[in-house]
Amino acid sequence: MFDPVFSFHNTQPTKVERMSPQTATPQDPIRVAIVGATGKMGTHAIDAVSAANDMELVATLSSKNELTAITDAKATHVLDLTIPDVSPNVVAFAVRAGLHTVIGTSGWTEDKRAVLQTQLADHPEVGVLIAPNFSIGSVLATRFAAQAAPYFDSVEIIEMHHPQKVDAPSGTAVRTAEMIATARERAGVGPSPDATQHDPGHARGAKIDGINVHAVRLAGLEAHQEVLLGTPGQQLVLRHDAFDRASYMPGVLLGLRTVAARPGLAYGLDAYLDLDEPS
């Protein structure tokens, strides 16, 4: 049944909506510490968490703070919006402290996720969400791309971002490539045809799980991605545009509201959404 607490549209649930059906008493507020609070995502997240009446913003950290500020503030949840080199350290601290953690930071490679799994094994009650993208449009575009990918000979990804972005390719592009590769492998579809033999400057992009990913950094852009799918005589283009960081905030709140009920590691916000598996 539809649960308003899990709705993308409901960024302001009332206390009544958050009552447990068993006890019919309001739940304690979610005590959130934001790490990376001075950043572009962090400043939006401060507003979103502060405006949510089922949450309390108890700590805001930047590179200048010790992580112990999180536990000093008695946070129950950590929202990590930092940089790829720092995020694993923040998350390891949070998991050790038994705090549910939502990660928006990019750069969570398979190796880093494996280390996190071992850390979580010692804290089985803790929930962690790695969300490469919090916006519903992007999550759906990635799912649609994975669904379509087995039906086309060729697939390539172009991600386009603002020039302040420190990592490439984007976490969203990596996740999209992984899901496309899995869907094609399950369907027994081989690699995209490509006669390229000489490419000393890597003009064909990075290969992520066998999928070519191209990264553009352009002043004036925010966060955009196209998945190009081609087969003789036709092309399908799946494009998502995030024009504003406000697009991520319903997903941030959904993650914070859900993570405690999902112990262990979830990868991708789609894990918290009721979506059909791509075929």
Ligand X SMILES: NC(=O)C1=CN([C@@H]2O[C@H](COP(=O)(O)OP(=O)(O)OC[C@H]3O[C@@H](n4cnc5c(N)ncnc54)[C@H](OP(=O)(O)O)[C@@H]3O)[C@@H](O)[C@H]2O)C=CC1
Ligand Y SMILES: O=C(O)C1=N[C@H](C(=O)O)C[C@H](O)C1
Chain residues in the site for ligand X (CB under 6 A): 35-42, 61-64, 81-84, 86, 104-106, 131-134, 171, 248
Q: Which of 223, 229, 244, 136 is nearest to 173 (CA)?
A: 223
In the bound state, the residue with its beta carbon closest to ligand X is 39
Task: Out of 76, 82, 87, 172, point to the residue binding ligand Y (CB under 6 A).
Answer: 172
Rg, C-alpha atoms of the chain: 20
| Smallest distance, ligand Y to C-beta of residue 145, A | 14
Question: Side chain identity at 13, as an amino acid letter?
Answer: P
Active-site residue, selected from the candidate residues 44, 161, 224, 240: 161
Residue 74 is labelled as binding a ligand: no
Contact window for ligand Y (CB under 6 A) among 42-50, 170-178, 189-197, 251-259: 170-178
Task: Out of 165, 191, 215, 241, point to the residue binding ligand Y (CB under 6 A).
Answer: 165
Report the length, in residues, of the chain.
Answer: 279
Check residue 133 for interaction with ligand Y (CB under 6 A). Answer: yes
How far is Cα 89 from Cα 112, in angstroms, rounded to an integer?
11
- Out of ligand Y, ligand X, none, what residue 82 binds, judged by CB under 5 to 8 A for its kind, is ligand X
Q: Decide if 165 is catalytic.
A: yes
- Out of ligand X, ligand Y, none, what residue 176 binds, judged by CB under 5 to 8 A for its kind, is none
How far is Cα 45 from Cα 49, in angstroms, rounded to an integer?
6
| Smallest distance, ligand Y to C-beta of residue 268, A | 12
Task: Spell out, one character per residue from 58 to 97, where the chain touches ligand Y: x when CB under 6 A holds, - when not.
Answer: ----------------------------------------
Question: Side chain identity at 153, as an amino acid letter?
Answer: D
| Smallest distance, ligand Y to C-beta of residue 83, A | 10
Q: Beta partners for 229?
A: 155, 236
| Smallest distance, ligand X to C-beta of residue 138, A | 7
| Smallest distance, ligand X to C-beta of residue 232, A | 35
How are beta strands 211-217 and 206-208 bridged, if at all? antiparallel
Q: Decide: 19 and 11 in contact? Cβ < 8 Å.
A: no
Residue 106 is labelled as binding a ligand: yes
Beta strands in the chain (DSSP E): 30-35, 55-61, 77-80, 100-103, 127-130, 154-161, 206-208, 211-217, 223-231, 234-242, 264-267
How far is Cα 255 from Cα 199, in angstroms, rounded to an integer?
41
What does the block give as tokens for 231? 């087969």
Q: Decide if 161 is catalytic.
A: yes
How far is Cα 88 from Cα 29, in angstroms, rounded to an integer?
26
Site for ligand Y in 208-267 (CB under 6 A): 223
Residues taking part in catalysis: 161, 165
User: Which residues carry a binding-site annotation?
Assistant: 36-41, 64, 104-106, 131-134, 162, 171-172
The site for ligand Y (CB under 6 A) is made up of 106, 132-133, 161, 165, 170-172, 223
